Amino acid sequence: MQLLISTQKLTHAAFPGELHLITLTNSHGLEVLLSNYGASIWSVKLHDKEAQPIDLSLSYQNIQDWAKNPYYFGITAGRVANRIGGAQFSLNGKHVQLTPNEGNNQLHGGAQGLSHCLWQCETLRYQDAVAASFTIISPDGDQGYPGELVIKVEYRLNENNELIITYEAKSDQTTPVCLTNHTYWNLASDKQNGILGHSLQLQSKHILALDAEQIPTGELIQVENTAFDFRQPKMILRDIHTLDNGYDHYFVMDKKYSSTSNLNVIANLVDPISGREMEISTTELGLQFYSGNFLDGSHLDNHGQPLTQYRGLCLETHGYPNAVNIAHFPTVMLEANTLYKQITVHTFKNI
């Protein structure tokens, strides 16, 4: 096998325009299927000596599910990922009202956010990598946000089994920007047992405290002696049942910048049976660990099996959620005519 790019174009009544599906493959058998709808990852697969490819991420069986995407599979979340309390904030003394889509709050940029739009796309070839680049212009007032925002997301797959996601954005007005990817991972060959048997390590001493609506309050909680302590590798099943509804929390990263890169390793996910591992490094300040609590079995995966609770998990690298409303949180405000840039790398090992 070698580095390959292929593109498929199709029209479907469920989508507002032409759908582009781009497949990136490296010589080690890693395959990433991307879509211009939501600048999203539709699947990550491993082609090895086994007869059938192994899914490393969750996918829908029905293309109509990708259009509605109730679980946000694989999408680029934004303009602001995660939750904004009350779907509002103040900017330069003015009240900004956003479009709510989760009760009174806004989740992942609103119901018609970046995740549910068609992006422009192109393919790119590098010396040791293949890539797809997606761009979109979010107009002033989109889902309530000020400023026209131009966004670019590139997915690059290289020969080191790294999937590198680079985000860039620029606005003509000061506006919040906080982007992430929302792929659900499951590294096991047999998906029936979900991710509870996976081992997870997170470089984090603190999580953000949440209110009853999952909105950060501004307080940091130490993970020591709690179910949230993943500083050493730990089976997800070990403590998850002590929580009301699984994990859906933001873990603040312990920064340990190297001398050559501003990327920090924040997460290691391992399937003990196969030995497959995914390491995540990022420029961001932390990640949201979501254990697939609301997968309710009402939709089918690409093998016709119900997508049930804990079937997959998300590790979403981004800035602090609800930072627009908490003054002492690191800001997610992007000043007018300045560049937002984020890089997150997924490295697949023992494949």
Across the chain, what does the average pLDDT equal?
Answer: 96
CA separation for the pair 26, 161 (Å, rounded) = 8
- Average pLDDT over every residue of 232-255: 96
Confidence band, pLDDT 50/70/90 cuts, at residue 55 = very high
**Quick one: average pLDDT of 274-295?**
97
The arithmetic mean of pLDDT across residues 135-160, rounded, is 98
H or E segment and range at residue 166 = strand 162-171
Looking at 154, 249, 316, 346, which residue is catalytic? 316
| Domain region containing 47 | 4-349
Determine the pLDDT at residue 148: 98
- With the C-alpha atoms ordered 203, 205, 208, 210, is the resulting torsion angle positive or negative? positive
Assess whether 182 carries a catalytic annotation.
Answer: yes
Q: Average pLDDT in the 175-182 region?
A: 98
Query: What is the mean pLDDT of the segment spanning 1-20?
Result: 93
The question of whether 198 is a catalytic residue gets the answer no
Q: Return the number of other C-beta atoms located less than 10 Å from residue 92's C-beta.
A: 9
Residue predicted with more confidence, 1 or 117: 117
Which three-class secondary structure state does DSSP give residue 268?
strand
Under a CB-based contact definition with an 8 Å cutoff, are residues 74 and 42 in contact?
yes
Q: Which of 77, 130, 109 is nearest to 288 (CA)?
A: 77
What number is the average pLDDT over the span 105-125?
A: 97
Question: What does the block give as tokens for 182?
Answer: 């929302």
The pTM assigned to this predicted structure is 0.97
- Residue 322 — pLDDT band, cuts 50, 70, 90? very high
Domain count, the chain: 1
From the candidates 20, 108, 116, 182, give the one annotated as an active-site residue. 182
Confidence bin at 255 (pLDDT 50/70/90): confident
Q: Looking at residues 240-251, what average pLDDT do you find?
A: 96
Looking up residue 200, the CATH number of its domain turns out to be 2.70.98.10
pLDDT digits (tens, 9 = 90+) for 148-175: 999 999 999 999 999 999 999 999 999 9
- Residue 156 near residue 175, CB atoms below 8 Å: no
Mean pLDDT of 262-288: 97
Per DSSP, the residues of 175-194 read: EE-B-EE-PPB---S-GGGT
pLDDT reading at 48 higher than 80: no
- Mean per-residue pLDDT for 121-125? 98
Instruction: Name which of 274, 248, 250 is nearest 193 in CA terms.
Output: 274
